[in-house]
A and B are shown apart, each in its own frame.
Chain A
């Protein structure tokens, strides 16, 4: 009974949030098939980890959003994903990954990325590297060859602007 009720609640949760979460996954992974697989894993993980969600630290959606983003980044960084990208090979080398991040094969400006196009280029790049590609501030400083302090300041600036953009 309880199990059934949980399933119904979860089915509702899925129906309500699958689209928004897939939107985030899609802004990290272009391949629709893969992003659907990732979304599936995201919901399985939400189901498994729901006990560790702490409402005092934020809304349920925020919690799920971070699971989705992390899952998508993990997928992009997995060997299987890189091998699957036939036209390119992405060695471990961070700089080459970044070259991809900055120049190309550009992920279409969908979802949240479209919002970000309104940011200045130098700020957009930093959000792309940190939020959509999951690089740390230190890695970004190295990749962009700018001081760590500047990275932090610019990301904060970008985030403050993002706040007004999404309203």
Chain B
């Protein structure tokens, strides 16, 4: 803002003489705080006006002063007690209103804290529900895939028959030879001690009748004896699938003595 232009715009005279609009007044008062030269120019005009009006003074009637002073004394004596009570009322009112404000603030704060906490815990709950839902969704997706596997004509079902050592074993391999993906469905196998794991093998009849087993992965079976697994390692070719019991984390070949189940695909 060009303050010099503002100063000479007539706003000072307008303000001092009470002709400025409320908006102009508040703008002027704020600008006075920012521009000392504006306030100084205002004072200059005020003094000029004051001096001029002092020169133009007209003496009032003599009794006017007496009337004024009488009126003040009357007001004072009437208001003496009133003033005190009013002040009291004022202070109590202001302090009680302060108290109200304070009380309201505390209530507001408590309300905010409660809301924040409530939002926070709701959010937490929603987050955990979301995770749960996602997990469930993935599970359902897996199950759907498994169902698809079952109905896919390319998928061969290989029933693994329990050996003499484990006659109650019931397990199947779902094998998609085109995509090489393998699912293992265990319906009934006993839970093993902690140091043991089951291991699934795919077996190829090598040249000269040599069996070439290759590990499809180790797995655990829970107390209910059931599990459905997607085998990460695929099998393009397999003449048989077998399950053995091995020591946990086995990296060697199969222990044929502990063969639990075996089956051949009906190709």
The answer to whether B46 and A32 have CB atoms under 8 Å apart is: no
Cross-chain contact of B19 among A10, A57, A155, A163 (Cβ < 8 A): A155
Kindly identify, within residues 4 to 42 of chain A, every residue whose CB is under 8 Å from any CB belonging to chain B: 7, 10-11, 14-15, 18-20, 22-24, 26, 32, 36, 39-40
Q: In this assembly, does B34 line the interface, its C-beta being within 8 Å of a C-beta of chain A? A: no
Counting chain B residues whose Cβ lies within 8 A of the other chain, the interface size class is 35 or more
Q: For residue B6, give the distance in angstroms from its CB to the closest CB of chain A.
A: 12
Q: In this assembly, does B45 line the interface, its C-beta being within 8 Å of a C-beta of chain A? A: yes
CA distance A156 to B54 in the complex (A): 24
Q: In this assembly, does B153 line the interface, its C-beta being within 8 Å of a C-beta of chain A? A: no
Chain A residues near B15: list those with CB within 8 A.
58
- 20 further contact pairs, Cβ within 8 A, besides A58-B42, A58-B43: A10-B69, A14-B69, A19-B54, A20-B50, A20-B53, A20-B54, A39-B64, A40-B67, A57-B32, A58-B16, A58-B46, A62-B16, A65-B53, A69-B18, A70-B18, A111-B58, A156-B10, A157-B10, A159-B14, A163-B48
A–B complex contacts, Cβ < 8 Å, 27 sampled: A7-B69, A7-B72, A14-B68, A18-B65, A19-B58, A20-B53, A22-B57, A22-B58, A26-B58, A32-B61, A36-B60, A36-B61, A39-B64, A40-B67, A57-B32, A59-B50, A62-B16, A62-B49, A69-B18, A110-B58, A111-B56, A112-B53, A112-B56, A115-B52, A155-B10, A157-B10, A160-B8
Smallest CB-CB A-B distances: 6 pairs: A19-B57, A156-B10, A159-B13, A166-B52, A159-B10, A20-B53
